[in-house]
Amino acid sequence: MNGADVLCDVLLANDVNICFANPGTSEMHFVAALDRRPEMRCVLGLFEGVVTGAADGYARMTNRPALTLLHTGPGLANGLANLHNARRARVPMINVVGDHASYHLPLDAPLTADIECLAAPMSNWVRRIEGPDDVARATQAAIHASLSPPGIATLILPADAAWGEARPPASAVIDRPAPPATKGEAIRSAAEAIRKARGRAALLVRGTAALADSLKIAGQISAALNVRLFSEVQVAHMQRGVGRVAPTRIPYPIDAALEVLADIDVLVLVGAPEPVAFFAYPGKPGRLVHKGCQVLTLAAHGEDLKRALEELRDELGIKGSQAVPQAKTVPDEGRPSGALTEDAVAVIVAQKLPDNAIVCDEGITSARRFFSLSEQSAPHDFMMNTGGAIGIGIPLSIGAAIACPDRKVLNLQADGSGMYTVQGLWTQARENLDIITIVFANRTYAVLHGEMRNVGVQTIGENARRMLDLDNPLLDWVSMAKGLGVEAARAHTCEEFTGLLDHALSRHGPFLIEAVI
Amino acid sequence: MNGADVLCDVLLANDVNICFANPGTSEMHFVAALDRRPEMRCVLGLFEGVVTGAADGYARMTNRPALTLLHTGPGLANGLANLHNARRARVPMINVVGDHASYHLPLDAPLTADIECLAAPMSNWVRRIEGPDDVARATQAAIHASLSPPGIATLILPADAAWGEARPPASAVIDRPAPPATKGEAIRSAAEAIRKARGRAALLVRGTAALADSLKIAGQISAALNVRLFSEVQVAHMQRGVGRVAPTRIPYPIDAALEVLADIDVLVLVGAPEPVAFFAYPGKPGRLVHKGCQVLTLAAHGEDLKRALEELRDELGIKGSQAVPQAKTVPDEGRPSGALTEDAVAVIVAQKLPDNAIVCDEGITSARRFFSLSEQSAPHDFMMNTGGAIGIGIPLSIGAAIACPDRKVLNLQADGSGMYTVQGLWTQARENLDIITIVFANRTYAVLHGEMRNVGVQTIGENARRMLDLDNPLLDWVSMAKGLGVEAARAHTCEEFTGLLDHALSRHGPFLIEAVI
């Protein structure tokens, strides 16, 4: 067998069996090897940003690494923006980047590029396979790295390592890395600080601490000792909806974020870094807690966060039977009607969300209201753009739908961001994924209009308008979706939108609604 | 004035007056500064690969740098693939990459990334602006670097350097770098080697050596002394057509390339590197000349290549009146008819090419025949993908059309590659650019099917097919173009294609023809 065969076998032996791919010539031996292994599911993206974003969505829903297959430096480069988001979401992922045969590199052929340098900023682990006999060892190391958070592992596969004769490993299955233990000292310090803060303490949860079981424990601590409960601005993954404990998301606008954290004297981090401003603004601070606030880490990402919360609860003397405030059903404020607005879309989606749905939110400014309403929706999983590199919504929904084929996926998609990886709609059609894409067609980079006002520009001129507005020509999402094989329709009114959403929810397969707001 | 204002003014003072852009929050002060300077033309791309590819097309046609405006690390990352192509085309370009305020970086906010590391592999020059008072000096250095081939200059603009109060420079205009002088020794060595080779010598031209005036001189040397005349596989820019000297392009398939160079004992490089195989294949060499071939550099890229050729001609004792073999009008082999094929498209386009057109060729396997025919077309400029990072055709045509608004631009576009930067069609519509996009809709990555055969796979299975074919669902380019604001139609027969091409040639503005082959 050749190196490519060994690579496939080691991956499959360790349950890595989804490959999001856009291969090229230097990966042909690997493609041929994949062809000999139908148990590996290969999903083609027509652009590498689709590939890496889909792998992120898969990893967020399963906490398992997917494989991506990328073609040399430029193929990796095309996938970097969504790798950046994946790195910020701290998911497991294995990127196999094909490269020239090792002896071909000194010739500086046209596709030659410094792959290590390109990979480093968006990877937690990078390694080049040294030859056919290094394939097994390097692949095992990559799988191990992907499972040792943070887990973006990039493995460079020279063509001659793929095509050369290679020995299979004596044992293909690796020992899974154990999560690092949470320190008792951290539990006791957090408990002591919370007690002393007397109602001016907060927990900030992310990762597995934002899943339903952990949120319940955090909610018990919150209810018993009047501890505030926060999530970060950019939610990687949260379980949410009726019957679940709902943390307050720290607002994106810096003034609002400062206000919400103004009376917090003790902030306890549970799998989260300290919250900071997304961008800097002249004269405003970058840290969001006040200067006297004590910031402690209960447990870091990668540790068993649920157990850490349980230990904190016990240390604080709170019973496991402590009642928690639970989100309630969406109040019947009536069905919105008339001309469609972004808030009306949010209300209708929150009201109609089916049980156990998965929501991807790249609505940027347009979907803001959805999050607050969704604590009262049917129980669901919620994911956002974590790194600010736009163009993740469509790919993320692909990965979620492949991870959870029996669940409905709704992608709330801003139009400007959606254009970055619009090619992903084709993969949704090809794989017949059960995804409803709702495009907020406001025909502008609305967030940037807000930021122009933030820098003091009140009147926008021609040059700025031409860089911020998407209105000439208008993007026709229905035609684009049709061109990519996805059924689609446009709504101008709440009634039209409700009808289309009902239709999309009643069927299986991808559907796109262009919500003109 | 602030740093952003100084940046604009220094650029404009040095005739950098086109800005291909996709800005974000950290660039808002720069956008506001651009808004105060209507003499800077700002062209929005809905994805950064469009932005950098368009700047490349502009630079190839003008030999002047365009500005690109990119948003932080991920925005740069999205533009890297076409920066890679631009670097391989060795064009001048200035990328302004906005970054967080310098004091915000240590907080590791979500969008933070190592921009220097991302930029280095695809840039020839990288510099971070140190503060408001460094803006003028750094911008002047960037312009200078872009004009000192190879010229991909990346300038990182921290937000606080943009918004801080800055001094304008005493003198905004820089001294242009002089091209390095060609060495007399190189001329004499080349002449001597050519004489000794007795009909087994060749010139390999690229860059300005492949423009009409230089080609004529190369053609005189070729005619007088039976010297073969070659261009590289991936043509950055060539002037071509009736009345011009037409070099032989070194073939892409490695066996054909080896054969065409087999009897060359002396290869003289004129602005070109030594030719090498695009990819390595087991058991085949990477260098394309035979082992005993003497490879000399007459003049390197950046030198005055026309003058170097003149000096070589004089050194060889060839008169300026030496006749050259000139390409002739397309022979009337009759208009193709019936079902459309890729070769029929090539023939019809070659026959109907209008005078002084610009042809962008990202047809990959489908447009192969066009190049050989086009030496007999009306005089035109020809450009290709230089670095093998697919997705350049649509952006390249944008840059060419903006550089040369009075000329017709034809983009021969493979479907798989076109999908990478399909968003560029919107910019074509927005700017009402005179571009005809011809999509070779073969619904597959045809080049990869060939490469699979090259690695010995005769029968393709399900996994490989799902990574190589674009057939389920079919891409509907007419609907996609409509969705992006570009008029489009589909041709299944030669008659339909001819009719659509005539229509597109008779009007101004973007038009897309989906040629189903």
- Which amino acid is present at B43? V
Cβ within 8 Å, pair B420-A78: yes
- Which tens digit of pLDDT belongs to each residue from A160-175? 999 999 999 999 999 9
Angstrom CA distances, B125 to A263, B95, B134, B146, B491, stand at 48, 10, 17, 8, 45
Contact A229, A255 (CB under 8 A): no
Q: In chain B, what residues touch A21 (CB-CB under 8 Å)?
A: 467
As to burial, measured by CB atoms within 10 angstroms (0-12 exposed, 13-18 middle, 19+ buried), residue B41 is middle
Cβ within 8 Å, pair B463-A47: no
Tell me, what's the pLDDT at A456?
81
Tokens of residue B324, six digits: 């050259």
Contact B439, B412 (CB under 8 A): no
| Closest chain A C-alpha to B218 CA, distance in angstroms | 25
Nearest to B482 among A72, A278, A476 (CB): A476
B330 pLDDT more than 60:
no
B22 to chain A: closest CA residue: A467
Cβ within 8 Å, pair B286-A104: yes
Closest of A14, A301, A327 to residue A176, by C-alpha: A14
- Categorize the per-residue pLDDT at A321 as very low, low, confident or very high, splitting at 50, 70 and 90: very high
B286 to chain A: closest CA residue: A104
Tell me, what's the pLDDT at A457?
82
Residue spans of beta strands (DSSP E) within B194-289: 201-205, 228-231, 238-240, 248-249, 266-270
Sheet of A92-99, strands arranged across? A41-44, A18-21, A66-71, A92-99, A151-158, A125-128
Q: In chain A, what residues touch B472 (CB-CB under 8 Å)?
A: 430
Q: Say what percent of chain B tops pLDDT 90.
A: 93
CA dist., res. B172 & res. A443, Å (int)? 38
- Which tens digit of pLDDT belongs to each residue from A386-408? 999 999 999 999 999 999 999 99
Q: Pick the residue of A25, A232, A234 with the most B CBs within 10 A to test the interface with B by mutation.
A: A25
Tell me, what's the pLDDT at A365?
87
B160 to chain A: closest CA residue: A282
- Which amino acid is present at A444? T
Nearest to A84 among B38, B73, B481 (CB): B73
Count Cβ atoms below 10 Å from residue A176 Cβ, excluding itself: 11
- Categorize the per-residue pLDDT at B106 as very low, low, confident or very high, splitting at 50, 70 and 90: very high
CB pairs under 8 A between A and B: 319
B123 pLDDT more than 70:
yes
What is the Cβ-side half-sphere exposure of residue B317, based on CA atoms within 13 angstroms?
4
Count Cβ atoms below 10 Å from residue B325 Cβ, excluding itself: 12
Cβ within 8 Å, pair A46-B77: no
**Cis peptide preceding B473, ω within 30 of 0:** yes
- Categorize the per-residue pLDDT at A335 as very low, low, confident or very high, splitting at 50, 70 and 90: confident
With b for 16 or more beta-carbon neighbours within 10 A and e for fewer, the A189-204 pattern comes to bbbebbeebeebbbbb
Nearest to A483 among B72, B278, B477 (CB): B477
Q: If you average pLDDT over residues A435-457, what whole number do you get?
A: 91
Contact B206, B172 (CB under 8 A): no
Tell me, what's the pLDDT at B115?
98
- Categorize the per-residue pLDDT at B226 as very low, low, confident or very high, splitting at 50, 70 and 90: very high
Nearest to A387 among B111, B429, B447 (CB): B111
Tokens of residue B327, six digits: 């390409």
Cβ within 8 Å, pair B34-A477: no
B109 to chain A: closest CA residue: A278
Q: In chain B, what residues touch A388 (CB-CB under 8 Å)?
A: 72, 74, 110-111
Q: If you average pLDDT over residues B235-264, what whole number do you get?
A: 96
Count Cβ atoms below 10 Å from residue B265 Cβ, excluding itself: 17
Q: If you average pLDDT over residues A345-373, what whole number do you get?
A: 95
Q: In chain A, what residues touch B234 (CB-CB under 8 Å)?
A: 110
Cβ within 8 Å, pair B473-A426: yes
B200 pLDDT more than 70:
yes
- Which amino acid is present at B338? G
Cβ within 8 Å, pair A476-B457: no
Contact B251, B260 (CB under 8 A): yes
Nearest to B73 among A117, A121, A423 (CB): A121
Tell me, what's the pLDDT at B139?
98
CA dist., res. A54 & res. A423, Å (int)? 12
B327 pLDDT more than 70:
no
- Categorize the per-residue pLDDT at B96 as very low, low, confident or very high, splitting at 50, 70 and 90: very high
Task: Flag the least confident range among A144-148, A452-456, B304-308.
Answer: A452-456
Task: Flag the least confident range among A450-454, A489-493, B39-43.
Answer: A450-454
- Which tens digit of pLDDT belongs to each residue from B14-24? 999 999 999 99
The length of chain A is 517
Angstrom CA distances, A239 to A93, A209, A217, B322, stand at 22, 10, 13, 80
Cβ within 8 Å, pair A464-B34: yes
Tell me, what's the pLDDT at A181?
86
Taking only Cα atoms into account, the Rg of chain B, rounded to an integer number of angstroms, comes to 24
- Cα B345 to the chain's mean position, in Å? 22
Q: If you average pLDDT over residues A480-487, what whole number do you get?
A: 98
Tell me, what's the pLDDT at B333?
67
Cβ within 8 Å, pair A35-B461: yes
A333 pLDDT more than 70:
no
Cβ within 8 Å, pair A484-B475: yes
What's the CATH fold of domain A342-516?
A: Rossmann fold (3.40.50)
Tell me, what's the pLDDT at B399?
98
Taking only Cα atoms into account, the Rg of chain A, rounded to an integer number of angstroms, comes to 24
- Categorize the per-residue pLDDT at A459 as very low, low, confident or very high, splitting at 50, 70 and 90: confident
- Which tens digit of pLDDT belongs to each residue from A300-314? 999 999 999 999 999
Contact A411, A438 (CB under 8 A): yes
B20 Cβ contact partners less than 8 Å away, ≥ 6 residues apart: B43, B45, B50, B51, B52, B54, B55, B58, B66, B67, B68, B69, B399
Tell me, what's the pLDDT at B474?
96
Cβ within 8 Å, pair A277-B416: no
Cβ within 8 Å, pair B479-A474: no
Nearest to B35 among A463, A472, A476 (CB): A463
Tell me, what's the pLDDT at B458?
84
| Closest chain A C-alpha to B121 CA, distance in angstroms | 6
Residue spans of beta strands (DSSP E) within A16-113: 18-21, 41-44, 66-71, 92-99
Q: In chain A, what residues touch B26 (CB-CB under 8 Å)?
A: 279
Instruction: Name the β-bridge partners of B469.
Output: B444
Q: Say what percent of chain A tops pLDDT 70.
A: 99
Q: In chain A, what residues touch B80 (CB-CB under 8 Å)?
A: 74, 77-78, 80, 118
CATH number belonging to domain A3-163: 3.40.50.970
Ordered DSSP codes for B330-396? PP------SB--HHHHHHHHHHHPPTTEEEEEE-TTTTHHHHHHHTTSSSEEEEE-SSS-S--HHHH
CA dist., res. A347 & res. B450, Å (int)? 52
Tokens of residue B34, six digits: 């651009």
| Two domains, one topology: B3-163 and B184-315 | yes
Crossing angle of the two packed helices A28-35 and B446-454, in degrees rounded to 10: 80
- Cα B267 to the chain's mean position, in Å? 24
- Categorize the per-residue pLDDT at B331 as very low, low, confident or very high, splitting at 50, 70 and 90: low
Tell me, what's the pLDDT at B168?
92
Closest of A240, A239, A214 to residue A327, by C-alpha: A240
Closest of A96, A102, A94 to residue A4, by C-alpha: A96
C-alpha angle with apex A8: A5 to A13, nearest 5 degrees?
125
| Coil vs helix vs strand at A177 | coil
Nearest to B479 among A21, A36, A483 (CB): A483
The question of ipTM being above 0.90 is answered as yes
Tell me, what's the pLDDT at A239?
98
Nearest to B118 among A118, A160, A420 (CB): A118
Q: If you average pLDDT over residues A434-456, what whole number do you get?
A: 92
CA dist., res. A195 & res. A180, Å (int)? 26
- Categorize the per-residue pLDDT at B459 as very low, low, confident or very high, splitting at 50, 70 and 90: confident
A326 pLDDT more than 80:
no
Tell me, what's the pLDDT at A329?
61
Q: Give the CATH number of domain B184-315; options: 3.40.50.20, 3.40.50.970, 3.40.50.2300, 3.40.50.1220.
A: 3.40.50.1220
Q: If you average pLDDT over residues A477-494, what whole number do you get?
A: 98
Nearest to B429 among A72, A278, A473 (CB): A473
- Which tens digit of pLDDT belongs to each residue from A130-154? 999 999 999 999 999 999 999 999 9
Task: Flag the least confident range among A67-81, A341-355, B168-182.
Answer: B168-182
- The conformation of residue B287, written as its DSSP 8-state character, comes to B
Measure the CA dihedral A111/A117/A122/A126, to 10°: 100
Tell me, what's the pLDDT at B456?
81
Cβ within 8 Å, pair A483-B478: yes
Closest of B353, B349, B357 to residue B406, by C-alpha: B357
What is the Cβ-side half-sphere exposure of residue B454, based on CA atoms within 13 angstroms?
20
- Cα B203 to the chain's mean position, in Å? 22
B101 to chain A: closest CA residue: A280
A427 to chain B: closest CA residue: B473
Tokens of residue A130, six digits: 């040294």
B332 pLDDT more than 70:
no
Closest of A338, A388, A366 to residue A498, by C-alpha: A338
| Closest chain B C-alpha to A59 CA, distance in angstroms | 19
A437 pLDDT more than 80:
yes
Q: In chain B, what residues touch A482 (CB-CB under 8 Å)?
A: 476, 479, 483
- Categorize the per-residue pLDDT at A458 as very low, low, confident or very high, splitting at 50, 70 and 90: confident
Tokens of residue A23, six digits: 């291969």
- Return mean pLDDT, chain A: 96
Tell me, what's the pLDDT at B325?
82
Phi then psi for A69, rounded to 5 degrees? -120, 115
Residue spans per domain, chain A: 3-163, 184-315, 342-516
Q: In chain A, what residues touch B452 (CB-CB under 8 Å)?
A: 28, 31-32
